[in-house]
């Protein structure tokens, strides 16, 4: 009888400790006036996604017309492959020159698109928002197709900048047209963005119909989204954008959390709603434009990644944004591997694979939010 009472007290104490245990981890910087409030699931999920990404990365490098065993891939990446190995030069050439930069580009592009989607869903308070649906990707695509099909004298190296300019101009136009009575309501942003996406898509199709066949083929490859032939220059470009924009996005998480409460409550808490919305929109557009400029128009990553991540780590953007970035990167690395495997020895553009994954999920979301 006494032992039962002791056991009962121990269980009650454990339950009380579990109840009092906070669900959050506070992360504060000693040198910067910033702090983050992370869900306890964030570190575990981040580590799990990183581990998954590393496994897929090794398998992706290993797979191809020139097969390399996963063990040799790891040894080549770590620099422990013996120099007297009969395939030493070939392995280093294939891994470091052809496959690793391509896969890292896919990861960085996926991270940028996913982060952009998470921010857009936050500022519009709409779970279906993402760069492709709001017309930002269509603006970048129209600008790039114009350069490829109609402005042949322009150097092809200007293509990324043209895409970036197209995305930026589209975002400015959408925000300007959505402005009314001293503010821009999220619903107007979405409706005007959807309309812009349709119009810009029609203009792109018009250009493709009347363009030269060779230029049109090149434009189609770019529009479907691909990381084929990407090199270390593309990795450096995407890394630079993410190094600047991703920390800003993470440290803007608190503003996103407040915006999700509604404009009136945000104003009541002292927030300059429109200024914060413009800043977050610029960050989101810049991330999407950089991704489109490097890899073409890749859809649905910005839609799927934030949704799944929100289910894994909760709705607070403090932890959701970094985990979303990791999840988007892992998703695109996996999509690249699937695209090279499914019709081997040829390959599907990565944009088609993400569409095959994302379209059913989009239909599921439409059904779920039908009311």
Residue 70 has a pLDDT of 92
Dig out the tokens for 172 from the structure: 């400015």
More confident residue, 368 or 98: 98
Structure tokens at 124: 């519009």
Mean of pLDDT values over 99-103: 93
* CA torsion through residues 256, 261, 266, 272, sign: positive
- Give domain status of residue 37, yes or no: no
What percent of the chain shows pLDDT beyond 90? Answer: 25
How confident is the model over 193-218, as pLDDT tens digits?
888 888 988 888 888 888 788 888 77
Q: Which domain holds residue 193?
A: 46-77+86-369
In tens, the pLDDT along 207-250 reads: 888 878 888 877 777 777 888 888 898 899 899 989 999 999 99
Q: Is residue 109 very low, low, confident or very high in pLDDT (cuts 50, 70, 90)?
A: very high
Packing angle of the helix pair 273-295, 136-149 (nearest 10 deg)? 40
Rounded Cα distance, 335 and 177, in Å: 36
Domains of the chain: total? 1
Q: By three-state DSSP, how is residue 25 classified?
A: strand
pLDDT digits (tens, 9 = 90+) for 43-86: 999 999 999 999 999 999 998 888 899 999 999 999 898 888 88
Q: Is residue 64 part of a domain?
A: yes
φ/ψ of 32, rounded to 5, equals -120, 150
Write down the H helix ranges in the chain.
2-20, 41-62, 70-78, 88-92, 100-124, 136-149, 159-177, 186-210, 213-224, 232-251, 253-259, 263-268, 273-295, 301-313, 317-342, 350-368
Angle among Cα 329, 334, 339 to the nearest 5 degrees reads 125
**Residue 225's Cα: distance from chain center in Å?**
14
Classify burial at 227, counting beta carbons within 10 Å of its beta carbon; exposed 0-12, middle 13-18, buried 19 or more. Answer: buried
Q: Does residue 302 lie within any of the structural domains?
A: yes
Q: Quote the tokens at residue 71.
A: 């063990």
What is the reported pLDDT for 328? 94
Q: Is residue 305 part of a domain?
A: yes
Structure token digits, residue 25:
């981890």
For the stretch 6-23, what's the b/e string if a residue is b when 16 or more beta carbons lie within 10 angstroms of its beta carbon? eeeeeeeeeeeeeeeeee
Of 323, 178, 191, 148, residue with least CA distance to 246: 323
Q: Tens digit of pLDDT for each residue in 252-300?
A: 888 888 988 888 888 888 888 888 888 898 898 888 888 888 888 888 8
Residue environment code for 133-164, b if the CB has 16+ CB neighbours within 10 A, otherwise e: bbbbbbbbbbbbbbbbbeeeeeeeeebbebbb
CATH of the domain at 263: 1.10.3470.10
Task: State the average pLDDT for the chain.
Answer: 84
Cα 358–chain centre separation: 13
Is residue 2, in this structure, part of any structural domain at all?
Answer: no
Q: Is residue 95 part of a domain?
A: yes
Residue 255: inside a domain: yes
Tens of pLDDT, residue by residue over 115-167, are 999 998 888 888 778 887 778 888 888 888 888 888 777 776 677 778 778 88
Any domain includes 14: no
Q: What pLDDT, on a 0 to 100 scale, did the predictor assign at position 95?
A: 93
pLDDT at 12: 65
């Amino acid at each position: 009888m006494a032992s039962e009472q002791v056991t009962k007290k121990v269980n009650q104490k454990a339950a009380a400790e579990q109840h009092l245990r906070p669900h959050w981890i506070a992360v504060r910087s000693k040198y910067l006036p910033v702090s983050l409030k992370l869900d306890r699931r964030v570190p575990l999920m981040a580590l799990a996604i990183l581990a998954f990404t590393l496994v897929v990365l090794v398998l992706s490098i290993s797979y191809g017309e020139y097969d390399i065993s996963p063990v040799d891939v790891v040894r080549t990446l770590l620099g422990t492959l013996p120099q007297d190995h009969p395939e030493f030069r070939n392995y280093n050439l294939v891994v470091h020159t052809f496959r690793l930069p391509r896969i890292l580009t896919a990861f960085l592009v996926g991270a940028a698109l996913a982060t952009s989607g998470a921010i857009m869903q936050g500022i519009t308070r709409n779970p279906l928002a993402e760069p492709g649906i709001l017309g930002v990707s269509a603006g970048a695509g129209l600008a790039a197709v114009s350069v490829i099909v109609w402005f042949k004298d322009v150097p092809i190296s200007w293509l990324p900048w043209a895409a970036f300019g197209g995305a930026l101009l589209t975002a400015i136009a959408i925000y300007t047209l959505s402005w009314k009575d001293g503010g821009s309501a999220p619903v107007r942003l979405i409706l005007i963005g959807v309309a812009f996406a349709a119009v810009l898509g029609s203009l792109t199709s018009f250009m493709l119909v009347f363009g030269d066949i060779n230029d049109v083929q090149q434009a189609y490859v770019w529009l479907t989204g691909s990381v084929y032939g990407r090199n270390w220059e593309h990795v450096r470009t995407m890394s630079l954008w993410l190094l600047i924009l991703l920390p800003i996005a993470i440290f803007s998480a608190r503003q996103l959390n407040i915006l999700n409460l509604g404009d009136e409550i945000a104003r009541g808490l002292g927030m300059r709603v429109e200024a914060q919305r413009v800043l977050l929109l610029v960050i989101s557009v810049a991330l999407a434009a950089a991704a489109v400029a490097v890899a073409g128009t890749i859809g649905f990553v910005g839609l799927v990644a934030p949704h799944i991540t929100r289910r894994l780590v909760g709705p607070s953007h403090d932890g959701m944004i970094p985990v979303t970035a990791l999840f988007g990167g892992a998703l695109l690395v996996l999509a690249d591997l699937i695209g090279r495997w499914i019709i081997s020895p040829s390959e599907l553009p990565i944009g088609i694979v993400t569409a095959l994954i994302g379209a059913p999920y989009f239909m599921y979301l439409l059904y779920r939010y039908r009311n």
